[in-house]
Amino acid sequence: MPGGRGPETEAPSRYHLRVVEKFFAAAVLVVCGLLLVRLVIGARRRHAYDAFWRRLWIGTRVQVQRWWRWPAARRRARRDADAAIRRASRGEWDGNVYKPKSFKRDHDRDRKLH
């Protein structure tokens, strides 16, 4: 560019700010275009159009929540598995039947049978 004012001579922070500004301007332009299309179409198509965007929004939101919560769910599952292994190591196994030590009763005291 004449005068040495191209992106390569501009300060990096200012250049990035201009890119972000252009991105937001493009996003606003797209939203305005979508709203214009919504105004032009008929009532029945508008209903389907709105339903499409609602489904898209809900699906995207659910997916983002899954990605966001996945590490916590994984930690919780690992913690629960470790707790189950710890509990199983304290009891006794009779074949494939687990008998925790807390089920053992004092045989010295009398039990009242009903």
Determine the average pLDDT of the residues in 63-86: 88
> What average pLDDT does this structure show over 25-40?
94
pLDDT at 22: 94
CB 49 within 8 A of CB 38: yes
**Annotated domain spans of the chain:** 12-101
pLDDT above 90 (res 16) = no
pLDDT above 80 (res 9): no
Residue 98's DSSP bridge partners are: 93
Q: Is the pLDDT of residue 68 over 90?
A: no
Backbone angles phi, psi at 110, to 5 degrees: -80, 140
| Whole-number Cα distances in Å, 49 to 14, 44, 55, 62, 106 | 39, 9, 10, 20, 71
pLDDT score recorded for residue 63: 93
Question: What is the per-residue pLDDT for 111?
Answer: 61
| Residue owning tokens 């390569």 | 8
With a threshold of 0.75, does the pTM exceed it?
A: no
